[in-house]
Amino acid sequence: MNKCVAALLLILALSACGNGNHGAASGASSSPSTGSDDDSSSLSAMAQIGKKAFFDTTLSGFKDMSCADCHSPEYAYGPPNSLAVQLGSDGESYGTRAVPSLRYKDMTPAYSDEAENPDGVTLSSPGGGFMDDGRADSLADQITFPLLNPVEMDNPSKAAVVEALKIGAYAAQFEQVFGANVFDDTDAAFADLGQALQAFQREDISFHPYSSKYDLYIENKIGGGLTPAEKRGLEVFNTADIGNCVACHYGGASFDGNTGLMTDFTYQAIGAPRNPDIPNNDDPAYYDMGLCGPYRTDHTPAQLGTPDAYCGQFKVPTLRNVATRTVFFHNGVFHTLDQVVHFYNTRDTNPEYWYPSSGGTGTPVDNPDYALQPTFVPGATVDKFDDLPADEQGSIDEEVPLGTGVGGDNTLGGGTEPRAVHSTPSMTEQDITDLICFLDTLTDGYQPPETAPTHGACVN
């Protein structure tokens, strides 16, 4: 290895450790206060503007909503409530997707149909990009969506946003950083705002604190010992024929050298049940199909009803801080981790727990408490994968713990063969309890207790 390369690798290694160490050393850095007025001194001038903009309600159509209203610093920059979709600036329109966390997004590569997989083994496939369908290539480009979306921040135009900046509290700072005449060119000023918001999300430690119990554990730090229950949960997570979460929520070293992002940035079709709580779903002809539309348009099926491999695929999200959420999947159809994990375990063995059914005869049978559907009539027909048109179900994933358990996508391109299904769920109830204990260790801001507990939930 030549010296320059060695030196470069050393710098990369140090900066990667730097990230982790910094976060772990200051566990409190993930506290809500980091998002507001305290220490900004470590941020560049551009990122300081981004921070002001992130909390600035004057950047919305009705001057009543900032980025932080949906991406709350107190909830790992995720939603502060359990609503599937949020109310927009106009006070009457609802969004169409659940709010994702903005943590650990800074190093996401741009979208590609043939993205490299960070595990270094899996063949290239759709991956990267921001939003659940990857339609924004960078954090800077992404800002157009919330700022101009009529059901979110509801500005009529980029000019309206730039005007708000121009008369706003930090206009002088904006001019200082981006040039005295910055407000003369609307497109350029709007792009500068994107750069500022991106700089804030990249630089501020609160977006990537690496301060969870799991971080202490993988870095072998004091206080990072996992309990027996958490260790068993990690084992379930990683074991190919049990939880197999790691197949998509990849926790090894990622592109930026950091470990434990719990995503491989790919897209998969999991077949989340349709969520009647989303107003758009009142229209039976409306389907949110992720990579194949409606919001991205480059993979839209040529004809309605033509099988398309991209349909139904949504981004694999990071599982960091997932235990702080009360709304899960792109359509927010689930509200507890217990539901999510049971869904993975029984989507195919007991679809009647999750999807609506019709017909049948006799007395309805009670489904388990975690199920979305309270009861099932014997002999009824289950409308499985009801949030995708029948022709577009070809890419539904069948890896363990789902489906046949025999591998990845079933019939890319849309097969019509009936699916074979393994007859028993791959996880036991104990596995599920342990797995959820492990997911809890991914929450930032962990402070090791003075003395380790010897009994209680998630201990033995």
Residues that bind ligand HEC (CB under 6 A): 65, 67, 69-71, 86, 88, 95, 97, 99-100, 102, 105, 130-132, 139, 142-143, 146-147, 152-153, 197, 243-245, 247-249, 268, 270, 272, 295, 314, 316-317, 319, 322, 325, 328-330, 337, 340-341, 344, 397, 399, 401, 435
Q: How far is the CB of 32 from ligand HEC (least distance, A)?
A: 17
Instruction: State in angstroms the smallest separation of the CB of 398 from ligand HEC.
Output: 8
Omega cis (within 30) before 146: no
Q: The tokens of 14 are what?
A: 């140090």
Overall residue count recorded for the chain in this entry: 460
Shortest reach from residue 371's CB to ligand HEC, in Å: 17
| Number of neighbouring beta carbons within 10 Å of residue 28 | 11
Of residues 376, 358, 351, 357, the one with CA closest to residue 366: 376
Comparison of 100 and 307: residue with beta carbon closer to ligand HEC:
100
Q: Which CB sits closer to ligand HEC, 31 or 117?
A: 117
Minimum distance from CB of 189 to ligand HEC (Å)?
14
Please report, to the nearest 10 degrees, the dihedral formed by the alpha carbons of residues 410, 415, 418, 423 taken in order. 0
Closer to ligand HEC by Cβ: residue 24 or 68: 68
Tokens of 149: 């979306």
Q: How far is the CB of 295 from ligand HEC (least distance, A)?
A: 6
Q: How far is the CB of 21 from ligand HEC (least distance, A)?
A: 25
- Least separation in angstroms between CB 447 and ligand HEC: 24
Cβ-based nearer residue to ligand HEC, 130 or 446: 130
Would you say 61 or 445 has its CB closer to ligand HEC? 61
Which candidate, 307, 303, 279, 293, places its Cα nearest to that of 390? Answer: 307
Nearest-angstrom CA–CA distance, 361 and 377 = 6
Kindly tell me which of 24 and 248 has the beta carbon lying closer to ligand HEC.
248
Closest CA to 408 of 58, 125, 90, 189: 125
Smallest distance from the beta carbon of 332 to ligand HEC, in angstroms?
Answer: 8
Looking at the Cβ atoms of 97 and 299, the one nearer to ligand HEC is 97
Closer CB to ligand HEC, 355 or 376, in the complex: 355
In sign, the C-alpha dihedral spanning 303, 113, 105, 248 is: positive
Cα atoms in the 13 Å half-sphere on the side-chain side of 310: 22
Instruction: Identify the bridge partners of residue 382 per DSSP, sorted by sequence position.
Output: 357
Buried b (16+ CB within 10 A) or exposed e, 209-223: bbbbbbbbbbeebee
Residue 179 C-beta: closest distance to ligand HEC, Å: 22
Grouping H, G, I as helix, E, B as strand and the rest as coil, residue 125 is strand
- What b/e sequence results for 419-456 when a residue is b if at least 16 CB atoms lie within 10 Å of its CB, and e otherwise? eeebeebbbeeebbbbbbbbbbbbbbbbeeeeeeeeee
